[in-house]
Amino acid sequence: MKTQNSNVKCQNQNLKLKIFNLFFFNKYFIFLFLVFAIFVFYFSYFSIKRVDTLNSYYYDLGIMDQVVYNTSQGRFLEMTNPTFLKNMSRLAIHFDPILAVFAPFYWLWPDFKILLIGQALIVGLGGLVIFLLSNLLLKDKKVSFIFSLFYFLNFHIARSLLFDFHAITLAIPLIFASFYFYHKKNYRFYYIFIFLSLLTKEHVGLFVASLGVFYFFYFSDKKNGLITFFLGLSSFLLINFFVIPYFRGGSHFALKYYQPIISDPKNFLLNLASYERIEYLKRIFLPFIFNFFSPLSFLLVLPEFLINYLSKNANMRSYYFHYQSLIVVGLFYGMILGYKKFVNFENRIFKKLFLLIFFLVNFYYFYLYYPLTFFVKNKIFYQKISQEKRKSIEFWRKILKDEEIVLATTPKLAPFFTKRRYYFNFLFDPAWYNLGYSDEEIFNIKKDVYKKADYIVINKEEIGNELKDNALSKIYNNFLKDKNFTLIYNQGGIEVYKKVKS
């Protein structure tokens, strides 16, 4: 009888423990879900506000909007290529066929807001996956919760959500999900999410190949390590040396970012230790100091880091853009693995000091770079445009809604007008200056692009001072001399020109 009572008592205690664990798990997860909801709402709202206040560009939201719209109309990944000035596949520029996933939503609501809200939602899910992954590996809900919060407060992720829309940001939660299923030993879902991540950009294959090497040596998983490595490497080679050249009719445009390595090696080597690059190193690695307890994890970020670090395009090292997406994925994974080793240290003073440094460094970078409207050093502020300008844009957006009208606009107006088959960017990508193009060279390349359009919509603020001798004024003044176009509207700083029929 005593034994039976003891068993019942033991079972009751186990049941209470399970209920307690379930509640404890839910307490963290429920609060984390609230953080997720705030995160999605915040970045959906401000990314849309950024566009509405004319702080977005043709590069890249306008491009993405046209690609998804054309796909929704049965023209798969079709866009007006800004280099060749004709309609081609998006695959001639970047390999991101995952964009097609958004096309069905355009049947219901053909608007760039679909992309921005969808991006915030999908990337936000990565924070929840981080919690599941971390708890699976560390068996510590409190630490997992903290790591998830660091995900939502990571300035690289936050900034990438504000700078338009890019498919590579979707790789963040997809790869985290692949990590989770790998450690759950659910290899079917692991490879499904690896495959989906490969559809976000042409160089993801290098990350996947590095992941295979990492699994081979770190976990001694020869089978999945080799499969992952060859899957990543073969996809990278296939996409970059066959798919993109096939659609482009030539090599990848980004190869010119690395020409100084061969053409001017001495100057290139000197620039490797420039202040700008050293600051980039600090921003990338200092917030992830737990990774140094798992140094092999740095192998995951090596290819993407070198792509950015060696490029002559400084934008690829800026915290404003999306170029750090894959690096952040690898560093978060390494942070979890590093912390798993860190907790085994017996020196309590060392552990407390290290934790203090970790929090202080992350707080410092959060204060410097996180996009908030308050508290942080560089607060985000999008000044409202005048009612007259807003009404002018909406008026012409309706007038020119026919997708067969060939249109050119200045870059900041692009997202409002790219839902059409043919679109031409009236100006140019500012990154051309980073690549060494002079104003004269840019003018000679872009001066006649507008001639293909039926209508041209210009936001005069984007032109600036017409008397300045720069590419903006050169292109605009050259256009004003063209008698084939006549001004039909000029209100609120918006000019509309129509091609004169011969």
Do residue 265 and residue 399 come from a single domain? no
Question: In total, how many domains does the chain have?
Answer: 2
Mean pLDDT, the chain, integer? 92
Do residue 364 and residue 391 come from a single domain? no
The one-character DSSP state at 312 is S
pLDDT 10s digits, 73-103: 999 999 999 888 899 999 999 999 999 999 9
In a domain, 462, yes or no: yes
In a domain, 64, yes or no: no
Query: Alpha-carbon distance 243 to 49, whole Å?
Result: 36
CB 434 within 8 A of CB 256: no
In a domain, 338, yes or no: yes
Do residue 169 and residue 262 come from a single domain? yes
Do residue 360 and residue 495 come from a single domain? no
Q: How many CA atoms lie within 13 A of 1 on its CB side?
A: 0
**Does the pLDDT of residue 489 top 80, yes or no?**
yes
In a domain, 81, yes or no: no
Do residue 288 and residue 411 come from a single domain? no
Q: Cβ contacts of residue 101 below 8 Å, gap of 6+?
A: none
Do residue 407 and residue 456 come from a single domain? yes
Q: pTM (2 decimals)? A: 0.92
Do residue 170 and residue 267 come from a single domain? yes
In a domain, 12, yes or no: no
Residue where a domain stops, chosen among 369, 404, 429? 369
**Does the pLDDT of residue 266 top 90, yes or no?**
no
Quote the percentage of the chain above a pLDDT of 70: 94
Query: Alpha-carbon distance 229 to 180, whole Å?
Result: 18
pLDDT 10s digits, 136-170: 999 999 999 999 999 999 999 999 999 999 999 99
**Does the pLDDT of residue 116 top 80, yes or no?**
yes
DSSP string, 355-371: HHHHHHHHHHHHHHH--
Q: How far is CA 338 from CA 7, 259, 332, 437, in A?
A: 41, 37, 10, 44
Q: How confident is the model at residue 267 (pLDDT cuts 50, 70, 90)?
A: confident
Q: Cβ contacts of residue 502 below 8 Å, gap of 6+?
A: none
In a domain, 152, yes or no: yes
**Does the pLDDT of residue 428 top 60, yes or no?**
yes
pLDDT, residue 201, reads: 97
pLDDT, residue 255, reads: 75
Q: Average pLDDT, stretch 292-300?
A: 95
Do residue 171 and residue 119 come from a single domain? yes
**Does the pLDDT of residue 4 top 60, yes or no?**
no
Do residue 343 and residue 418 come from a single domain? no
Q: How confident is the model at residue 129 (pLDDT cuts 50, 70, 90)?
A: very high
Task: Extract the tokens encoding 111.
Answer: 């608007």
Which of residues 58 and 12 earns the better pLDDT score?
A: 58
Do residue 431 and residue 362 come from a single domain? no
In a domain, 94, yes or no: no
User: What domain range is 450 assigned to?
Assistant: 387-499
pLDDT 10s digits, 396-414: 999 999 999 999 999 999 9
In a domain, 72, yes or no: no
**Does the pLDDT of residue 131 top 90, yes or no?**
yes
Do residue 357 and residue 493 come from a single domain? no
Do residue 324 and residue 433 come from a single domain? no
Q: How confident is the model at residue 14 (pLDDT cuts 50, 70, 90)?
A: low
Q: How confident is the model at residue 257 (pLDDT cuts 50, 70, 90)?
A: confident
Query: Alpha-carbon distance 30 to 102, whole Å?
Result: 28
Q: In what order do the strands lie in the sheet with 455-459?
A: 423-425, 407-409, 455-459, 494-499, 485-491
